[in-house]
Amino acid sequence: MRLFQLDRIGDRPRLTEADCPAPAVGEVRVRIAACGLNFADLLTIEGRYQEHPPLPATLGMELAGTVDALGEGVDPGLLGTRVAVFAGSGGLAEAGCFPATRCLPLPETMSFIEAAGFQIAYGTSHVALSHKARLAPGETLLVTGAAGGVGLTAVEIGKAMGATVIACARGADRLEVAREAGADHLIDSDAGDLRAAVLALGGADVVYDPVGGPLFAEAMRTCRPDGRLLAIGFASGEVPQIKANHLLVKNLSVIGLYWGGYLAFRPEVLTDSLATLFRWHAEGRLHPHVSHVLPLERAAEGLELLRQRKATGKVVIAMH
């Protein structure tokens, strides 16, 4: 089988071949159809992600495919099942072995391409907005990086939860993608003075920020009293430093979220959230946006699209 492998931190990953693996106790083997790319894949290559898979490592954090072999102790009913898997690594390959407990059967309404990029982006936004920020109907949500992989899902989910959504993104084309996802108001991040633009709309109750850097500080100044700021990631490459006295004056809360971290101590938060999201998708309430589908031999190109912020929504690698 072919796989996209990182040999050493900082090296360029390479397409190589290996024998198809056999599942261990409690595992299934998945014939992988598609793998979603994430900004975290870039951080893993650079050694800057919070988790460090043992090297050499097959990249690709989330995938979808069909179970084609079972390890000892696994429910025989899983054989032949279409599943999505949040694996952490191993997705950019034609097959892989993963714990059966990580496999989520797919609704008939969801394609492999949609499923491959669904869990992390939609899961992050739903847990952030519902479980962490307690976004309520009628509140105003500001989303920065609103045309990116997670930002676009925050726009869509915020709208589904009954919020007024302000989308901030770079350029008219990216803002149009956010508008199509349900954004009520659009702000070009290159236009300057985000604070004035949001305050003119009444301010934000919740800020969803996957960008970090100076934009986080600017977004914080848009908050109404008792506002909540979600620190989702740092696509700008700069981790913002927060002045606690600014939080105090307006009774603000800054809330961090590492979606995958819940697997270690409260996995039911993720499973309950994903059950809701799969139901919403089946009901036609969610419409995953995939801007690029590329073959495995062009995985490096897909990662570069993320690095240069040339993608909207998700970039997905299709194995065949």
> In sequence order, which ranges of 47-171 are alpha helices (DSSP H)?
112-116, 119-126, 149-160
- What mean pLDDT is predicted for residues 121-126? 97
Q: Where are the beta strands (DSSP E) in the chain?
A: 2-6, 14-17, 27-36, 57-58, 62-70, 82-86, 95-99, 103-105, 140-143, 164-169, 185-188, 204-209, 223-231, 253-256, 290-295, 314-318
- As given in the structure block, the two tokens for residue 223 are 């908050």
**Can you give the pLDDT at residue 28?**
98
C-alpha to C-alpha distance for 57 and 77, rounded to whole angstroms? 30
| pLDDT on residue 35 | 98
Mean pLDDT for all residues in the chain: 95
Res 320: pLDDT: 85
Residue 247 clears pLDDT 90, i.e. is over it: yes
pLDDT confidence band for 8 (50 / 70 / 90):
very high
pLDDT, tens only, 168-211: 999 999 999 999 999 999 999 988 889 999 999 999 999 999 99
pLDDT at site 50: 84
Residue 317 pLDDT more than 90? yes
CA dihedral 91, 232, 264, 314 (to 10 degrees): -20
Query: What pLDDT is recorded for position 69?
Result: 98
Question: Given this model, what pLDDT does residue 66 score?
Answer: 98
Average pLDDT (299-313) is 94
Task: Give residue 237's pLDDT.
Answer: 86
**pLDDT value, residue 198:** 98
Residue 18 has pLDDT above 90, yes or no: yes
Query: What residues form DSSP beta bridges with 229?
Result: 207, 254
| Domains by residue range for the chain, with CATH | 2-118+288-318 (3.90.180.10), 124-260 (3.40.50.720)
Residue 96 pLDDT exceeds 90: yes
Q: Are 167 and 175 in contact (CB under 8 A)?
A: yes
Q: What percentage of the chain carries pLDDT values higher than 90?
A: 92
